[in-house]
Chain A
Amino acid sequence: MNPTLSIALVASFIGVSCALLGVFLVLRKMTMVGDAISHAVLPGIAIAYWLSQSRASLVMFVGAAIVGVGATVIIELLRKKLRVQSDASIGMTFTSLFALGVVLITFWSDSVDLDQECVLYGEIAYVPFNLWIINGTSYGPIALWSSSVLFLVVLVYLIIGYKGLKMTSFNEDYAMVLGISAGLWNLSLMSMVSLATVVSFESVGAILVVALLVAPAASAYLLVQKLKPLLILSAVYGLLGALGGYGLSKLIETSIAGSITTVLGILFLFSLVIQITIKTKKTVHALES
């Protein structure tokens, strides 16, 4: 497959998946938990990689995703049972787990082919070289498979879970009184975020994946006030960020992940300006009439 096309596709699948999940993180005021998950998956990735000796294996995805969900469980435990402040429990949990991951990677540096640079920043440009080969036949880049499966899983999850997510994001107590388990819904969303983070991590790294989760949703939230349009606009922003960022990086020959995030930042500013313009116009209109 054409390398440019495969990179663009991977960036788009990841961008849109994260943008969709990010909407619910923003609505639940849990974007920092997304940040925490993206760092906390590192020891999971290291251990799974050490066990299976291959990147992008199913074991790695599942193992790392479980650690990510484990991180959210630890955060909740610290906060609810031990009464550590909410931001402090997030800060403690993800830095500890991330540190454990760094230690493991350096400890196993002979057998684990992961470097810290890649962990932090990712390298989507290598996507076309990491092929899925069975018995000598190539089935295309592994990241293309993992990111497209991620996109499908997220889409199905959101379609099935739409009502449950909407309800528990708006009013958790009320949902619980109706017998709907808010805890399970939260856990399911965190599992999805965790999965998305693991899949995105190789391409954009642990730091920039947070931008993919937060920026499109936060930008869209400035402009629309209904949930479905919000999801759609956020996905569009995710896509624009991915493709625009890739284009920008080709144009000025720079880091792809960095360019994607820069474009997402510009989109946010753009939304902000539009929002302020609309508000001012409305006020002027109201004053005139």
Chain B
Amino acid sequence: MEKSIEVHNLTVSYHSKPVLWDVDFSLPMGKIIGIVGPNGSGKTTMLKTIMGLMKPDSGYTEIFGQPLDKVRSRVSYVPQRESVDWDFPADVMDVVLMGRYRKNNLFRRISKDDKRIATEALEKVNLLEFAHRQISQLSGGQQQRVFIARSLAQQADIYLMDEPFVGVDAATEDAILQLLQEMKNQGKTVVIVHHDLQTANEYFDHIVLLNTRLVAAGPKNEVFTKDLLQEAYGGRLTVLSKLGDLISTEEFPLREPEFKENKPDKE
């Protein structure tokens, strides 16, 4: 089986504290893959290192068997929604068009082709009617969809998304899930950082369970076992299991406020 992403003995630290410790795994192609783990387990750091935004202390990552620099045009990134200032003076179309910016067209005008591709991307996330709306006037879910549309406009082969389901409404969640299936059917690979254990099981085909060290990586039925989850989430899981058997009953929403707010692995 061909590999989309390979992570080799990766150790990354933030302020000389290790966030990822000797993590080693590889991911398949054409699947929807979740990187799951508790708060501060290094999920975002993992994604940022793969994207070359953080430098590892040791180890390396490869995409499609090559270093990132060789395959940049095939890789797309959806950062956390909160990582930008949505008061920036731009409309939806402006942001989506940024998905067409490249190192070598930065000094040229935006082409008709770029506009067509951006329009198609907006259509896919059901935001075409909002094309000329100020980004500051969007809801959280709409902002997230704008980011995904920008990423789609890149026409990449692999998409890495950082917490795209945080703080979005049900309609957006459905829209994103539907889109993910479409992308998968086209043979694209999607890697998603996700903290919500409950939904992780239904969203992903393949799961990387992380807690500074790698707990497990594989198809979800192999990874989503009580023992492994216990290992990743430790004491927190025990507390939760008292409230109901977490794994068998899938209704319990693991949406504590701390999961959204205190993210030590976020800069």
Contacts and interface: CB of A to CB of B under 8 A. Distances in A.
Interface stretch (A67-75, A89-97, A170-178): A170-178
B88 A170 contact: yes
Interface string A158-193: 001001101101110111111110000000000000
B53 A160 contact: no
A170 B51 CA distance: 18
Nearest to B75: A177
Nearest to B154: A178
Nearest to B110: A163
B101 A177 contact: no
B102 interface: yes
B266 to A, nearest CB: 12
A180 B15 CA distance: 26
Interface of A is mostly: helix
Interface stretch (A45-53, A219-227, A236-244): A219-227
A198 interface: no
A153 interface: no
A3 B94 CA distance: 45
Contacts of B101: 163, 167, 175, 178, 180
B198 to A, nearest CB: 29
A233 B75 CA distance: 38
Given A163-B101, A163-B106, A170-B84, A230 B79 contact: no
Contact of A177 (B51, B90, B94, B134): B51
A221 B136 CA distance: 13
Nearest to A221: B89
B36 to A, nearest CB: 22
A285 interface: no
Nearest to B51: A177
Interface of B: 15, 48, 51-53, 69, 72, 75-77, 79, 83-85, 88-91, 94-95, 98, 101-103, 106-107, 110, 134, 136, 150, 154
16 contacts: A27-B89, A166-B90, A167-B106, A170-B84, A170-B88, A174-B77, A174-B98, A177-B51, A177-B75, A178-B101, A178-B154, A179-B103, A180-B102, A180-B103, A225-B134, A226-B90
